[in-house]
Amino acid sequence: MTAFTHVEAERGPVPDDAFLIPGEGELDDGRYLPAMEATRYRRDIVVEISLMVQPRPGFDPIAAAEQSYRVPAAACQPAGIRRPAGRVR
């Protein structure tokens, strides 16, 4: 049983990879979330915002948190996944 999982958006292979905000990278939420649902995982999926992202000029942590919720939430509906009422914590 999986007790905890987190995701981090990423683009490119090492050593030229970059960590990003959800929706900017290569993670396919439309495939990942149904796969997690199929395992009956019922806990939080935590989004990590890398220290590579935070120094960006104009980085807005509230906007990043909202996008980190909005992008995977949008993938749930077409996959038939029910989510609890949204909130950013």
Domains of the chain by residue range: 5-79
Which tens digit of pLDDT belongs to each residue from 46-67? 899 999 999 999 999 999 999 9
The H-or-E segment that residue 5 falls in is: strand 5-7
Which tens digit of pLDDT belongs to each residue from 72-85? 888 888 888 876 55
What b/e sequence results for 45-73 when a residue is b if at least 16 CB atoms lie within 10 Å of its CB, and e otherwise? Answer: eebebeeebeeeeeeeeeebeebbbebbe
Q: Rounded distance, CA 4 to CA 41, Å? A: 9
Q: Rounded distance, CA 39 to CA 55, Å? A: 36
| pLDDT tier at 3, thresholds 50, 70, 90 | confident
